[in-house]
Amino acid sequence: MNDPELIRRLRRALVRKARRRAGARGVTLIEVLIVIAIMALIAGGVGFAILPKYKQAQIDTARTNAKKIRAVAIQYIALKGGDCPTVETLIAERELEGDGAQDPWGKPYTILCNGDDVGVVSSGPDGQEGTEDDIAVGDLAES
């Protein structure tokens, strides 16, 4: 067991292993900051690309919900007669679910009636009625 050649080989192996460890270095603060900056640029680019699609999706959702409310209001008038229903009336009568009462911007839909003609209006992204970004469904609402 006291073979001098074996001991020399073991020492050389240990020295090589120690040198490899000494050659390995950690990650510097600059490298970490560069990686964080690159990730921030990528996230910003993704956000910039997705935001217009998100806004269009909100408009499409508002239009779809307005069409649904209009159909329910037409059916309500045909079956129950009477005055033009409000969104609150349709919810109270369980004709419409409560989550469809507000547009994607948190404002209530407005139902307009003139005889058999029914229209539904969302105040749109700006939240103000009567502006050009309003979303209207039905002939009465669009005029």
Domain limits of the chain? 27-142
Low-confidence ranges of the chain (pLDDT < 50): none
Position 27 scores a pLDDT of: 77
Position 1 scores a pLDDT of: 55
Position 130 scores a pLDDT of: 82
CATH superfamily assigned to domain 27-142: Glycoprotein, Type 4 Pilin (3.30.700.10)
DSSP state of 101: S
- The answer to whether the beta carbons of residues 65 and 100 sit under 8 Å apart is yes
- The answer to whether the beta carbons of residues 90 and 73 sit under 8 Å apart is yes
Position 39 scores a pLDDT of: 96
Global pTM value: 0.65
DSSP state of 14: H
Position 142 scores a pLDDT of: 63
Position 93 scores a pLDDT of: 80
Alpha helices per DSSP H over the chain: 4-23, 29-80, 87-92, 139-142
